[in-house]
Structure 1
Amino acid sequence: MLKSFLFKHMDNSGLVIFRIFFGLLCFLESVGAILTGWVKTNMVNPKFTFSFIGFEWLQPLPGNGMYFYYAVMGVFGLMVMLGYKYRVAIISFTLMWSASYLMQKTSYNNHYYLLMLISSIMVFMPANKYASLDAKFNPEIKSLSMPQWCKWVIVLQLFIVYTYASLAKFYPDWLNTTFIENLMRNRKDYPVIGEFLQQKWFHYILVYGGILFDGLVVPLLLFKPTRKFIFIVSIVFHLFNSFVLQIGIFPYLALAFTLFFFEPKTVRNIFLKKKTLYEDSQIIQPKYSSFFITLFSIYFLFQIGLPLRHHFFEDDVLWTEEGHRLSWRMMLRSKGGTISFRIRDVETGETTRVNLRNYLTDKQKRRIATKPDVIWQFAQYLKEDYKKKGINIQVFVRSRVSVNHKPYVTFINPNVDLASIEWNPFKHSDWILPSKQ
C-alpha cells in the first residue's frame, strides 16, 4: 500500500516551477556570496578555516580560487534552473555546496544546511521532465507527471524543520521576549520601522507568532480551507524576516516550497498555462522502489533523531553549544564573549599569551570566543604550529561568555590543557564549565 501511494503519479507542475526557482536561488546565493564580500571574508582572507570536525582536509582553494569555485556553483545553479544537463548540474552543485558548507563554520546559518539537504533530495527528483532544455533537446524524457513521493519528501522535510524550530523556542528567554528585545534593539536605526521594532507588544507578537507559525504552517498548508490564509501569512512572515533579519535566501526558498502544497492545477494555471494537466493517477513502481523507500526511511530517521541529540549532553545547549548545529535551532539566542589563549613550553615552562591577530580574522576572533569546538580546534592548530618549530606546548584558555546580554561567566576551565584533549562528539566536554546563567 505504501508503494502504491508513493509511486502513484500526479501532475508535475509544482516540481517543475520549484526547480526553476530553486536553480535561480542557488545562482543568487553563489554569486551573491562573491558580490557581498562573503567569500572574501570567510574563504579568502583567513589563513585557515574552522571546518566541521572530521573535515579538516576540506580547506579553501588558495589565492582567488574560491571566487572561481563559487562562480562555477552559480553556473550549475543556472543549469538547474534551465533544466540543462540537469542531473550533472544538480549533483555537481550539491557536492560543491556541501564541501563549501563543511569547510568553514565561522559563518553558520541554518539555510546553508537546508540548501545542502534540499539539493541532495533534488538529485533524485525528475525535475527536468518538462519546461527544460533537456526535454527540448531530448523529447523522449518529456513527462507531465511525477510520482507522489516527490511532493511528500519535501513536505516531510519541511515539517521536521519547522516543528523543531517551534519546539526550540520554548525556553524562558524566548518566551519572556528577552532575546527578541535584544535582537530588535540592534535594529533601532532602521529607517521608518526602527522605533516600531522596539515596541514591547510587537515583541510578544513576534515571540508567540513565531512559535505558532513554525508549529502550524505545514499542517495549515496541507489543509485546503486554510491554505490561502496561511500562504498570505507566510509571505508577510518571510518578507519581514528577509528585510529585518537579513537571513539570505531562506525566506524566498521557504515561499518556493509552498508550490508543493497547492493543487497542481492551480500551479499550472498560474505558471504553465500551455501545459496539459495530468489527471491519470497511474501507479508506476520502478525496479528500485524497495531500495528507494529504505534509503529515504533511513534519511528521515536521521533527520528526526539528529536534532534531539543535545538532550543526551549535560547542561544547556544554549550554553555548551553541544548539539546546536544541524538541529534547526534558528535565531534563538545571542552570545558574546572574551577569550585569550596562553601557551606553555613543556620543556622550559615559559608561558606566553597568543596574539590572535597573527592567526585569525576579526570575524573568526568574534566567533571563537563562544564556540567550544572552535576553541578546541584552535588549540590543536596552535599545537601543530609549534610542533613544526620543534616546540612541545600546552594550551590554556581564559574565556568568559554572556548569553542574551546576561552577566559574563567563565566558560572554559582555565586549568585544562586543551592541546592534550581528544574530541569526542558523543560525550560532553567536561572542560566546558557549568552554566550559571
Structure 2
Amino acid sequence: MMKKLFQPIDNAPLIIFRIFFGFLLAAETFGAILTGWVNENFIKPQFTFNHIGMDWLQPLPGIGMYLYFITMGILGVLVMIGYKYRYSLSAYTVLWTLTYWMQKTSYNNHYYMLILVCLIMIFLPANRYASVDVRQNPDIKRLSMPKWCSLVMILQVAIVYFFATVSKFYPDWLDGTFTKNLLVNKSPIPWIQEIFSQKWFYLFIAYSGIAFDLLIIPMLLWKRTRTIAFVASLIFHLFNAVTLQIGIFPFFALSFAVFFYPPEKMRKIFFRKKPILDLEKEPVYENKSVLLYFFLPYFIIQILLPIRHWFIKGDVLWTEEGHRLSWRMMLRSRTGYTVLKVIDKKTNARLNFDSIIRLTQKQYNSISDKPDAIWQLAQRIKKEYAKKGIDVSIYADTFVSINGKPTKQLIDPSVDLASAEWDYFFHNEWILLYDNQGNKIESK
C-alpha cells in the first residue's frame, strides 16, 4: 500500500492545477473588489459578523481592505507563475483565512474550500516545473511527484461530494420543494422560465443533483465513464454558474478533473514540450512525514466536521448548529424577521438599539433568521450600552420559514440573550425545537 502511495508519476496534473488555482485565487480577490463585494462586506458595515470567537478580527479602516485584497490578488498571480511558491501561497492562505473568519454575512462554502485547498497545496511540490522558482533555481526541477499528491486532491473533493449527497436526503429536497423555489424567476426569457416552473423539471434538477454528487467521483475514477463524467460535470457546473451566479466555484470544481486523468495524458495536453518521465533518472520525492503527520489528521478532521451536527440536539436545517464546514451546499432557503427588545435593567425602559448600532441590509438579513448572528448582535449591543454605563437585557422575537413553509418562532423570547452563553459544541437551549408535526418541544 505504502509503495503505491509513493510510486512516482508525472507531475503534469499538479503543475497545471497550480496554474489554474493561482489564476482563480487572483480572480476571486480582484473580482471581489470590482464587483463591490469588498465594499459591501468590509467597507460599508460599521462592524462585521465575524465567526464566533474572532471578535478581535475586524476590517482595516479606510481603504485598508482594498489594499488587503489587492495584496491577495498579487499573491494569487505569484502562485500561478510559481514565484516564491510556498511563501506566496502561505501568505495568501493566512490572509484569506482571516478574511473568512472576519465576516460570515456573505458566507459561501467555496470560501472554506479555498482555505482547505490552499493548505493542501502548501505541502505539495507544485513549483517543481513550469515556474519562476525553477528558472531561478534549476536544481529543484522535477518531472515527477509521488502518487499520493494526486490522491489527496481526489480524496478532498470526494469528501465534499459525498457529504453534499448525504445532506440532500431530506423531504424538501426529495419532493422538489427547494429546487422549485430556487428556480423561480431565474430566467428573464418566458419560455425558459415556463420550463423551470414545471414539476418534472424541478424534480429532475433535484434528483440529478443527488445522482451527480453521488456518482461523479466513481465515474471520474473509472476509465470507461471518465469522459462522460467530465462532460456531465461541465454541463452541471456551467448551468450552476449561469443560473446561480456563485462566483468561481463551478470553475474551481472543474479544475480538479486533471487529477483523475492519466498524468501522461495531462502532459500531452498541457505540456507538449515536457520530457517523458524516466523513472531511472528521476529522484524520488517521498516526504512520508507530511503524509503521516499532516494529511492523516487533516482528513480525520475533514470526516468528523461534517457529521458533528448529527450529535447536536435538533435538526440542523432549523437550528443552523453544525451547518457550516459540513458541505451543506445550496440546500435550503431561510427567510424570517427579528424584533429585538433592549431593556434598561435599572429603569425597565425600552431602548432603541438603532441609535448606537447601524446595520447594512445584508446584516439585517442575517439577523432575521440566523441564531448565531442574533446572539452576536445582542452581545455587541450589550457592550455598546455598557460603555454608557447602562446595563441591558435583550430579548428576541424571531420567526423563521424554511423553504417557504409556515413561520415558526426560532428563539425563546423569555431568554435574555445579553446574558446567554454560546455553546460551540452542543445545542443552545434558547433555540426552540419542534417535532415533525410542528409542535414545540419543551426544554428539559
CA contact (8 A) 1:49 1:104 kept: yes
Q: Decide whether the 8 Å contact of 1:340 with 1:354 is kept in 2.
A: no
**Which residue number corresponds to residue 41 of structure 1?**
40
Tell me, in whole angstroms, the C-alpha distance in 2 between the residues paired with 1:355 and 1:409.
Answer: 25
Kept in 2: contact 1:356–1:365 (CA 8 A): no
User: In the aligned structure 1, how far is the partner of 2:319 from the partner of 2:92?
Assistant: 33
Q: CA deviation at 1:280?
A: 2.1
2:74 — aligned with what?
A: 75
- State the alpha-carbon separation in 2 of the partners of residues 193 and 21 from structure 1: 33
- Flag as ranges the 4+ runs of structure 1 deviating above 6 A: none
Alignment of 1:396-415 (within 5 A): 396-415=395-414
Aligned-residue Cα RMSD (Å) equals 1.6
Q: Report the secondary structure of 1:129's partner residue.
A: coil
| Residue deviations 1:60-89 (CA, integer Å, cap 9, x gap) | 111111111111100000001111111111
Could you say what secondary structure the match of 1:146 adopts?
Answer: strand
Please list every run of 5 or more consecutive structure 2 residues that lacks an aligned counterpart in the other structure. Answer: 439-444
Q: Distance in 1 between matches of 2:433 and 2:200?
A: 34
Structure 2 residue 231 is matched with structure 1 residue 232: yes
Is contact 2:395–2:417 with CA below 8 Å preserved after alignment? Answer: yes
Cα distance in 2 for partners of 1:292, 1:356 equals: 54
In structure 1, the partner of 2:391 is: 392
> Structure 1 CA distance, aligned partners of 2:51 and 2:229?
37
Q: 1:7 and 1:314, CA in 2 relative to 1: closer, same or farther beyond 3 A?
A: same
For the 8 Å contact 2:145–2:284, the answer to whether it is kept is no
CA contact (8 A) 1:188 1:195 kept: no
- Distance change in 2, residues 1:122/1:430 (3 Å): same
CA, structure 1 residues 177+267, in 2 after alignment: closer, same or farther (shift >3 Å)? same
CA distance in 1, matches of 2:191, 2:99: 37
Aligned partner of 1:182 in structure 2 is 181
Please say if 1:106 is aligned against 2:101: no
By how many angstroms is 1:13 displaced? Answer: 0.4
Q: How does 1:31-430 map to 2 (within 5 A)?
A: 31-189=30-188, 193-280=192-279, 284=284, 286=286, 289-290=288-289, 292-355=291-354, 358-430=357-429
Displacement of 1:356: 8.2
Separation in structure 1 between the aligned mates of residue 59 and residue 145 of structure 2, nearest angstrom = 38
Partner SS for 1:423: coil
Whether the 8 Å CA contact 1:60–1:103 is kept in 2: the answer is yes
Deviation per CA, 1:331-363: give whole Å up to 9, x if none: 110010111111111111112343389421011
For residues 201 and 369 of structure 1, what CA distance do their matches in structure 2 show? 33
Taking the aligned partners of 2:412 and 2:27, their CA distance within structure 1 comes to 43
Secondary structure class of the residue paired with 2:230: helix
TM-score (norm 2): 0.95
Shift of 1:285: 6.3
Counterpart of 1:396 in 2: which secondary structure? strand
- Does the 8 Å CA contact 1:23/1:78 hold for their aligned counterparts? yes
The Cα offsets for residues 361-407 of structure 1, whole Å up to 9 and x where unpaired, read as: 01100111111111111110011000111111111111110000111
Q: How many residues align?
A: 435
> What whole-Å deviation, never above 9, does each CA across 1:80-134 have from its counterpart, x for those lacking one?
1111111111001111111100110000110000011001111111111111111
TM (norm. structure 1) is 0.96
Mapped to 2, the partners of 1:418 and 1:391 lie a distance apart of 16
Seen in structure 2, the aligned counterparts of structure 1 residues 35 and 285 have a Cα distance that, compared at 3 Å, is closer
- Aligned in 2, Cα 1:186/1:319: closer, same or farther, shift over 3 Å? farther
Structure 2 CA distance for aligned equivalents of residues 109 and 192 of structure 1: 31
Task: Give, as a single letter, the amino acid of the residue that structure 2 aligns with 1:412.
Answer: I
Q: Secondary structure at the match of 2:380?
A: helix
Residue-by-residue CA offset, 1:209-239 (whole Å, 9 max, x unaligned): 1101101111111111110110010000000
Letter in 2 for 1:5: K
Where 1:407 maps in the other structure, the secondary structure is coil
Whole-Å separation in 1 of the counterparts to 2:356 and 2:369: 17
Unaligned runs of 5+ in 1: none
Whichever residue aligns with residue 123 of structure 1, its letter is I
Q: CA deviation at 1:431?
A: 0.7
Q: Distance in 2 between matches of 1:191 and 1:98?
A: 42
In 2, the alpha carbon distance for the partners of 1:182 and 1:356 equals: 37
In the other structure, the counterpart of 1:14 is 13
Which secondary structure state, in structure 1, belongs to the residue aligned with residue 212 of structure 2?
Answer: helix
What is the rounded CA distance, in whole Å, between the counterparts of 1:43 and 1:414 in structure 2? 31
Give the deviation of 1:195 after TM superposition: 2.8
